[in-house]
Amino acid sequence: MDIEDVRSDLSEVLFTEKQITDRIAEMARDIERDYPKGDVLLVGVLKGAVILMADLARELKFHAHIDFMAVSSYGASTQSSGVVKINKDLDTEVAGKNVLLIEDIMDSGLTLSWLVNNMMARGAASVEVCAMFRKPEAVKIPVEVKYVGFDIPPAFVVGYGLDYAENYRNVRGLGVLSPHVYEGADPHA
């Protein structure tokens, strides 16, 4: 879907598809520079990272090896306990490999910090993070994000893989969800 198709659900359009695509090309050049032999496993976090993974992997000029994990955090996300459960694990052994975690968005940082530690505990040779969007004002646990697409304000955003009640993931571009859509509910819940 185009962002204009859901424009009435958004209070603001933050990024068009073109802006995101251009930024991904720059990020891909940085990743190629840092892994000149292409010896890196891209680990995407389902479901939000699917769109970024597809775009980033195809932009890379080496044979990108990819795998996916699905996780869920316990507790109200507004004050998350930081306890993360693996719903789908990797098919790939990560011991000895360079891992690049691919995330749609870094909000509190709880999920990513847990994932970084989890990859290290499995014996990864190195672990870095690539996040398309980051909310610096919402970060509770600082995680070094080596490749970040855009810093955004601490609003609830949808599009480019990010959903509200499973909708909007396939919207090209990113926008702030208008409060009238969730009518008082916590969109993070």
Pick between residue 28 and residue 181 the one whose CB is nearest to ligand 5GP: 181
Q: Which of residues 9-68 bind ligand 5GP (CB under 6 A)?
A: 48
Which is the catalytic residue, given 107, 151, 163, 186? 107
User: Would you count residue 158 as binding ligand 5GP (CB under 6 A)?
Assistant: yes
Backbone phi and psi for residue 130, each to the nearest 5 degrees, phi listed first: -125, 120
- Give the Cα separation of 93 and 96 in Å (integer): 9
Binding mask 75-114 for ligand 5GP (x = CB under 6 A): ----------------------------xxxxxxxxxx--
DSSP β-ladder status, 98-106 and 41-46:
parallel
CB of 26 to ligand 5GP, least distance (A): 22
Pick between residue 5 and residue 93 the one whose CB is nearest to ligand 5GP: 5
Pick between residue 33 and residue 189 the one whose CB is nearest to ligand 5GP: 189
Q: Residue holding tokens 């505990």?
A: 121
CB of 95 to ligand 5GP, least distance (A): 25
Residue 56's contacts (CB-CB under 8 Å, 6 or more residues apart) are 24, 27, 28, 31, 42, 64, 102, 130
CB 59 within 8 A of CB 45: no
- Give the Cα separation of 61 and 57 in Å (integer): 9
CB of 119 to ligand 5GP, least distance (A): 15
107 is catalytic: yes
* Number of helices followed by number of strands (H, E) in the chain: 4, 9
Active site residue ranges: 107
- Contacting residues toward ligand 5GP, per CB under 6 A: 48, 103-112, 156-158, 162-164
